[in-house]
């Protein structure tokens, strides 16, 4: 493993298996390199004061303008940006469940422009790889249905998926290998295998 940690982001629709896969990768990396060398983080981080405002909005306990909630999601990343950077510099690999791509994909699905949505996240630490767990909204729904939260509606998820695909295309123009699309509609073992293959590849490239 390289001296610098690897920044691995997992993205996808609700019920695509992101959290499950993030947990599996974290566990495998901890077994391989030790607990101290890998961290699992998640956005939104609902525990901070900003995160609590986001949580309240998502659970429809408060209302906010689309722009305002978008900026809170971004601020929720900025509050840990320097700790992400210092962890990476200290050789700690970070597995991150959702990141800026969710930020843009969800807010843009409400009608905000891509450019406007991207702006507040410019300058945040860049991931070494984004694993996009792709699933159709129909298949996601069959996995036990969406929950009660604000964005968990099939129509919105469909637009979000299109936005993720657009972001993937753009990401690939800067660095082809930094966006890996994984078919998340398959069984758990098969998705886990594909995810792990991608993780080993990026970590191998970094070690070169």
Binder of ligand 2DT out of 7, 57, 106, 146 (CB under 6 A):
106
Q: Which does 44 bind (CB under 5 to 8 A by kind): Mg ion, ligand 2DT, none?
A: ligand 2DT
Residue 11 binds Mg ion, judged by CB under 5 A: no
Residue 103 binds ligand 2DT, judged by CB under 6 A: yes
Q: How far is the CB of 66 from ligand 2DT (least distance, A)?
A: 10
Cα–Cα distance for residue pair 97/20, rounded to 1 Å: 10
Binder of Mg ion out of 14, 87, 121, 134 (CB under 5 A):
14
Binding mask 138-167 for ligand 2DT (x = CB under 6 A): -------------x----------------
Q: Which does 106 bind (CB under 5 to 8 A by kind): ligand 2DT, Mg ion, none?
A: ligand 2DT
Q: Burial of 131 by CB count in 10 Å (0-12 exposed, 13-18 middle, 19+ buried)? A: buried
Q: Which does 151 bind (CB under 5 to 8 A by kind): Mg ion, ligand 2DT, none?
A: ligand 2DT
Residue span binding ligand 2DT (CB under 6 A) among the ranges 27-35, 96-104, 162-170, 194-202: 96-104
Residue 44 binds ligand 2DT, judged by CB under 6 A: yes
Q: Which residues bind ligand 2DT (CB under 6 A)?
A: 14, 43-44, 58, 73, 98, 102-103, 106-107, 151
Residues that bind Mg ion (CB under 5 A): 14
């Amino acid at each position: 493993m390289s001296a610098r940690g690897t920044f691995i982001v997992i993205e996808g629709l609700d019920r695509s298996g992101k959290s499950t896969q993030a947990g599996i990768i974290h566990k495998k990396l901890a077994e391989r390199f030790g607990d101290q060398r890998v961290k699992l983080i998640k956005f939104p981080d609902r525990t901070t004061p900003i995160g609590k405002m986001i949580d309240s909005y998502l659970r429809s306990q408060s209302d906010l303008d689309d722009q305002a909630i978008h900026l809170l999601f971004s601020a929720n990343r900025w509050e840990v940006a320097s700790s992400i950077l210092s962890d990476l510099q200290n050789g700690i690999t970070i597995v991150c469940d959702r990141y800026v791509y969710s930020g843009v994909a969800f807010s843009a699905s409400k009608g905000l422009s891509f450019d406007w949505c991207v702006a507040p996240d410019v300058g945040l630490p860049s991931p070494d790889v984004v694993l996009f767990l792709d699933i159709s909204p129909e298949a996601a729904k069959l996995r036990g249905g969406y929950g009660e939260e604000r964005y968990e509606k099939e129509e919105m998820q469909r637009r979000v998926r299109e936005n993720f695909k657009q972001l993937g295309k753009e990401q690939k123009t800067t660095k082809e290998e930094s966006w890996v699309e994984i078919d998340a509609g398959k069984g758990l073992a098969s998705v886990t295998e594909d995810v792990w293959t991608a993780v080993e590849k990026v970590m191998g490239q970094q070690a070169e």
